[in-house]
Amino acid sequence: MFYSGDVAILHADLDAFYASVEQRDDPGLRGRPVLVGGGVVLAASYEAKARGVRTPMALGRARALCPDAIVVPPRMKAYSTASKAVFEIFRDTTPLVEGISIDEAFLDVSGLLRVSGTPREIAARLRAEVRERVGLPITVGIAGTKFLAKVASAVGKPDGLLEVPAGGELAFLHPLPVERLWGVGPVTSGKLRERRIDTVGDVARVGEAALVAMLGPGAGRHLHNLAHNRDPRRVRVGHRRGSIGAQSALGRRPRPFTEIEATLDALVDRVTRRMRGAHRAGRTVTVRLRFDDFGRATRSRSLLKATMQTRTIATTARDLLHEAHDLIAVRGLTLVGVAVTNLDGDGHVQLSLFDAASDERLDVAMDAVRDRFGSTSLTRAATIGRELGPSVPILPD
């Protein structure tokens, strides 16, 4: 079956990824409600989701909903290994793969239709390969646009295959709840539902001008286009990321501010090492915070010139953290992250007479030691005996 412009896009998404890896590796967990995480649930098996558990959710609340849940600590190395194996299968399927996260990707199979069969046949083989070679369930959505393929995989979960037929895009899309549209989180959903705009079809009927007046020009036009399945984006291969960042879950127990600072410093070490490895300098430092009530905040500052120096970025990140000190004290902190954006394209850094060359030499020397002996071979004194919490996505508004 051919789609608009003979484009066929798959969205492949591993099901309850972290929890599925745990169930794969421990047969005793199969068929049972599994929670991965510490103070916050990072992943829940579908058995736990059926009891109302969602991510991210406080572990205490998850246990109240599902008292018989089995809680396991995250094993990031195992998840990374499984992800790499799955992405090898993606690339065996088509060279046009755009990874979105550790557990999902878009695949453009338009050029394979005459040699590899229909998109449904290609997707079915991919799912079978992932199950056989990696031992994990995966859901695939098929459509003529990236947006609709992602919606199809979400509707098709778990462990499913859902194709949106050419010509039937709007008939499939319009009955769905507004939350299926990219960019519609709790805040936007609340604004829409207050006006009895409950489905994607309702959004399409409202009109662009009304949406712009309601949500602003960017969000209004964005949702108007999606509600009509207008998504001209193509699968991009090998595009360079616009930011480099890392974040760490802290759990829900109160932590002294000095411990939060130490965690932030360790995250900066991780980020700047990756920046130097990629030869990317950046100019804007952003600190991301998530609070005990699941609210979020960010603090950003742009530097006069791009840098990849650990000391410069760490000092800026600490300043931003201190700006939010009172907020953290009142609301409690469950996650801290740091990202560097406005990255240059080739790693060239404008130096000045006052640059600390010794800092640059120290950064390079420490990178070399960690590359040879492992990332934990050198660590800050303040973080001895502490491990960074697992990375957790910060959900969009």
d(CA 80, CA 102): 7
Distance between CA 139 and CA 156 in Å, rounded?
A: 7
Q: Give the neighbor-by-neighbor strand order of the sheet with 97-101.
A: 97-101, 104-108, 9-14, 138-143, 161-163
330: CB partners within 8 A, 6+ apart: none
Q: How far apart, in Å, are the Cα atoms of 397 and each of 157, 179, 190?
A: 23, 11, 11
With vertex at residue 329, the alpha carbon angle to CA 334 and CA 74, rounded to the nearest 5 degrees, is 15
Q: Which of 285, 261, 272, 293 is nearest to 338 (CA)?
A: 285
For the question of residue 104 being annotated catalytic, the response is yes
Sign of the torsion angle spanned by Cα atoms 90, 94, 95, 100: negative
Up-side HSE of residue 97: CA atoms within 13 Å toward CB? 17
- Whether the CB-CB separation of 345 and 240 falls below 8 Å is answered with yes
Q: Is 218 exposed, middle or buried (0-12, 13-18, 19+ CB in 10 A)?
A: exposed
CA gap 130, 93 in Å, rounded = 11
Asked if residue 267 lies in contact with residue 247, where contact means CB atoms within 8 angstroms, the answer is yes
Residue type, 94: T
Q: Which of 22, 47, 98, 104 is catalytic?
A: 104
Share in percent of the chain as helix, strand, coil (round to 5): 45, 20, 35
The catalytic residues are 104
